[in-house]
Amino acid sequence: MTQLTRRSFLAAAAAATTRPFAALAASSEVDVAIVGAGAAGIAAARRIVAAGQRVALLEAADRVGGRCITDTRIFGVPFDRGAHWIAEPDVNPLAKLAPRPGFDIYPAPPGQKVRVARRYAREGEMEDFLAAWVRAGRALSEAGRKADVACAQALPKDLGDWRPIVEFALGPYAFGKDLADLSAADYAKSAERGTLAFCRQGAGALLARLAANLPVQLSAPVTRIDWSRGLDLETEKGRISARAAIVTVSTNVLTAGKIKFTPDLPKRQLDAAAKLGLGSYDHIALELAGNPLNLQSDEIVFEKSDSRRTAGLLANVGGTSVSLLDVGGRFGRELAAQGEPAMIAFAGDWLANLFGSDIKKAIKRTHATQWNQEPFALGAASAAAPGAQSARRILAEPLGNKIWLAGEAVHETLWGTVGGAWESGERTAEAVLRRLGVLKEPEQPKRPPPPKKSPRRR
């Protein structure tokens, strides 16, 4: 079998992924089967195709992207129904791979505004808020480096009346979970995400473009994976036999038993997945014609709230008339469970309380996501429970050298991001290729011989 070095393998990746592929037959034999055509699945498929291996990319939904999808029908402009932010664009693989011209990656404006009732926070108030935010974030990181406690337990006690907004910004708005449900160790290990960017055409549209020409089968949910002897995957469109499988479904889908395994997944992996359950995070999208809020493109607005019934506003997304009111955590989950009309009503009341009741008259078309109800996602992004940061390493362990799990939940520092899911898919693909003997093991640097000891002098 021809072996590739890492250098030649990477050099061939871009060219190989532009080749057209025919759809696989209902019953096929491939080298690698990939379950899920989200960021991790697409990244893994591109790497394996670049190595010249036969791959089946199996997607349960009728489109690629997983929890990252761009819609243009609802508002007539790109609207990311799921992941929207591109963290650290200078090193983010999605930003590096974005075809240009065609996809515009632009920086998010720095900072945010805070509404105090029906006015903006004054300069001194903003300084107090930002100081509280920074102190809280530093306290979480310091606590997480010592022990894996709940983030809420590590918060400073002197945040005063800024505490609710700080808790929302660091918890539900950032990670989809309340700080009481978040691991401080997971928070401390998370990579820097201070520099943010957006894709004007939509993050989901960019991901779909990167999946072009891959051998993907849509509307083909995998119902069973039999790894008792060989490796067979049953789908609604037929059976796939493979030498290895990469499973990229969310942790909630994994624990819900939507895919049956024969034999069952080890309890070690199932427990790890349960401890990395998805948070709740939804967009309430409002078309506000004429910019009645008088905000710039992609400006963020919080409110100085005294409760957890709050949200974050991303105004005039990409220069359009669409604004996103984001809700998350326990309150976001409770609100989403009440249905889309309740979510739209909350958004209208939230804006009216901060900008005046006339703002409701400016609301035109609306839409609210409900990711907790999406059957092939069952939530937003993973977030480790207190005491469970090590679960990410456990989830990355291969099963019988046949099955590998990949996705944002497996990335120890970029969890909860599309970039983290992409990197996880690439790394897992390389591990599979090494297991199949296609990619050489990385050479270990030779250690120099120890220096000879000189004789001791009396």
pLDDT band at 216 (very low <50, low <70, confident <90, very high): very high
Report the alpha-carbon distance of residue 328 to residue 260 in Å, rounded: 30
Short-list 199, 132, 194, 130, CA closest to 159: 132
Instruction: Evaluate if residue 202 carries a pLDDT over 90.
Output: yes
pLDDT in tens, 3-17: 444 444 344 444 444
Is pLDDT larger for residue 219 or for residue 5? 219
Short-list 280, 275, 319, CA closest to 296: 319
Report the alpha-carbon distance of residue 66 to residue 84 in Å, rounded: 13
Q: What beta strand segments (E) does 193-270 contain? A: 196-199, 216-217, 222-226, 232-235, 238-247, 260-262
- pLDDT for position 236: 86
| % pLDDT > 70, the chain | 90
DSSP for 292-331, please give it: TT---TT-EEEE--SSS---EEE-SGGGSSEEEEEEEHHH
**Cβ(331)–Cβ(309) below 8 Å:** yes
pLDDT in tens, 269-301: 999 999 999 999 999 999 999 999 999 999 999
| Stated pTM of the model | 0.90
- pLDDT for position 26: 44
Q: How many Cα neighbours within 13 Å face the side chain of 440?
A: 12
Residue 95, helix vs strand vs coil? helix
Write down all domains in the chain, each with its CATH number in brackets: 6-65+211-277+379-435 (3.50.50.60), 113-196+279-373 (3.90.660.10)
Q: What is the mean pLDDT of residues 63-67?
A: 97
- pLDDT for position 193: 79
Report the alpha-carbon distance of residue 17 to residue 235 in Å, rounded: 25
Q: Regarding beta strands 113-116 and 300-303, do their DSSP bridges make them parallel or antiparallel, or are they unpaired?
A: parallel
Strand partners, 34: 57, 246
Q: Which of 24-28, 304-308, 386-390, 434-438 has the lowest mean pLDDT?
A: 24-28
Strand partners, 196: 87
**Cβ(137)–Cβ(174) below 8 Å:** no
- pLDDT for position 450: 60
Report the alpha-carbon distance of residue 399 to residue 226 in Å, rounded: 12
Report the alpha-carbon distance of residue 313 to residue 285 in Å, rounded: 10
Strand partners, 378: none
- pLDDT for position 20: 36
Radius of gyration of the chain (CA): 24
Instruction: Evaluate if residue 350 carries a pLDDT over 80.
Output: yes
Instruction: Evaluate if residue 441 carries a pLDDT over 50.
Output: yes
pLDDT in tens, 37-63: 999 999 999 999 999 999 999 999 999
Task: Quickly tell me which residue has 């903006």 as its tokens.
Answer: 120
pLDDT band at 452 (very low <50, low <70, confident <90, very high): low
- Tokens, residue 112: 């945010």
pLDDT band at 447 (very low <50, low <70, confident <90, very high): low
pLDDT band at 449 (very low <50, low <70, confident <90, very high): low
DSSP 8-state class, residue 268: H
Q: Which of 149-158, 172-181, 284-293, 440-449 has the lowest mean pLDDT?
A: 440-449
Mean pLDDT for all residues in the chain: 91
Q: What is the mean pLDDT of residues 213-225?
A: 96
Report the alpha-carbon distance of residue 286 to residue 281 in Å, rounded: 16
- pLDDT for position 454: 46
Instruction: Evaluate if residue 124 carries a pLDDT over 50.
Output: yes
- pLDDT for position 440: 79
Q: Regarding beta strands 113-116 and 28-35, do their DSSP bridges make them parallel or antiparallel, or are they unpaired?
A: unpaired
Sign of CA dihedral 322, 328, 334, 337: positive
Distance of CA 101 to the CA centre of its chain: 25
Task: Quickly tell me which residue has 């939804």 as its tokens.
Answer: 282
